[in-house]
A and B are shown apart, each in its own frame.
Chain A
Amino acid sequence: MVPITYYLILSAVLFGLGVVAFVFKRNIITIFMAIELMLNAVNLAFVAFSQALGKTDGEVFVLFVIVVAAAEAAVGLGIIILTARNRRSLNIERVDLLKL
């Protein structure tokens, strides 16, 4: 028997590492992967809560999150390819049109 709190702590740790990767990395593809890591961490919390409460709703939410993540990956990687083509670089600091 694994206590539910262990799963939740692991989920929070993975989410924190995802945030670290998000602010730390400079490659636009790796930053996108950090977002996927955060989504995965949230999914773990969903499944753990669903199991603790004895309801299946959480697992349905996880399926929806996976669908949204797949759609997001398709569109996001399209945007990344366009950006790389226009800027000739994958460094996020070269993409600064929105900066003041």
Chain B
Amino acid sequence: MSAVLFIFFVLAGLAVFGAAALILQSHPIHSALSLILVMLCLAGLYLLLGAEFVAAVQIIVYGGAVMVLFVFVIMLLNAGEEERTNFSKLASPFFGIPLALALGSLIAVALLRSTTQLPSPAAGGPLTSTRDLSKLLFSEFVYPFELTSFLILVAILGAIVLAQREHN
């Protein structure tokens, strides 16, 4: 087994472990920490695939900003252990898990079928340089790029409007 394959299996195992821990933990702060583990592993996988810029953005934006926001809200709301009702105890093992497994395998089969025409060599190839990425982003995808700035502006306004106290 080559070193790259070994690293892939370590990172993939950690990512699946983190995702499973997100489900099994009952306290939201533990779930949040598991999700940070998944995101860091995915950043490592992006590096393995040669997508260096995406890996950096993944760590800074997801592992940093978004998850800090989550942890902040969990602490602000003083969220405790989640309470389970009778319906959720009954419904999730009998309907939720089988249906989710069916969906996951359906996606896997669809993805695998679609890759039969693909060239298989993937990782370890030439790095996609940040220069190529930025050239594409500011030429071909410049209108979507500008639209995202508008989206962020609307999101900021929405967050301010939602979070302000009512005056009455």
Contact = CB atoms under 8 A, between A and B. Distances in A.
A86 to B, nearest CB: 11
Interface string A36-72: 1100100111011111111011011011101111111
B107 A12 contact: yes
B112 A2 contact: no
A50 B108 CA distance: 18
Interface residues of B, number: 85
Given A56-B132, A78-B159, A90-B82, A71 B151 contact: yes
Contacts of A3: 120, 122
A33 B148 contact: no
Given A1-B5, A52-B122, A34 B22 contact: yes
Given A82-B162, A90-B79, A9 B38 contact: no
Interface string B131-143: 0110011000100
Given A1-B4, A15-B107, A71-B155, 15 more contacts: A7-B45, A7-B122, A21-B22, A23-B95, A23-B100, A25-B31, A26-B83, A37-B22, A40-B39, A50-B51, A50-B128, A57-B136, A67-B152, A74-B158, A75-B158
A52 B96 CA distance: 33
A93 B54 CA distance: 37
A56 B128 contact: yes
Given A5-B112, A12-B107, A82-B162, A33 B58 contact: no
Nearest to A85: B77
> What 5 pairs across the A-B complex have the smallest Cβ distances?
A16-B104, A78-B162, A71-B155, A23-B96, A12-B108
B137 A44 contact: no
A77 interface: yes
Given A16-B103, A66-B57, A82-B162, A2 B4 contact: yes
Given A16-B101, A63-B54, A48 B162 contact: no
A13 B104 contact: yes
Nearest to B84: A26
Contacts of A25: 23, 31, 82
B122 A33 contact: no
Nearest to B119: A52
